[in-house]
Amino acid sequence: MSDDSPTPATPPSRTSEGTGPDTRETPTAPAAGDTHQAGTGRTAARETKDPLRGSRTSGIWAAVVGLGLVLLLLVIFIAQNTQSVSVSFLGWSGQTPLAVALLIATAAGLFLSAVAGSLRILQLRRRVRRVGKH
């Protein structure tokens, strides 16, 4: 009596205790697109991730610490530059503390830089879309 069902060529792997599947990796040929690292014998796809790699939370924490330091420096700057200065711009004139005048000028410069950068990014995106359609 013969069984027509296909039989596996190799039995399933077991751990040394024989209780579960073998979780050890067996070497295989690199798949198409894998980049082989010279001298290491491993492919880039098999590299294990660093357990101490950065995350969004650590990035946010670093940003909060950085912004806190900037705020501290800003408070020191304002405290040291309280003398009043005369400011004139496009027909407007007035007296304001030096720190306020400098902070307004800095904010205006950052705004203009952001506008110019945004326009350039939009220009590049349009160019990429046009090239992608052809």
Per-residue tokens: 118: 């945004």
User: What is the pLDDT, as a whole number, of residue 102?
Assistant: 86
- Tell me the pLDDT tens digit for each residue of 82-111: 889 898 889 888 898 888 888 888 899 999
Residues in the chain: 134
Q: Which residue bears the tokens 């050890």?
A: 24
Q: Which residue bears the tokens 């991730």?
A: 49
pTM, two decimals, is 0.45
Strands (E), the chain: 84-89, 92-97
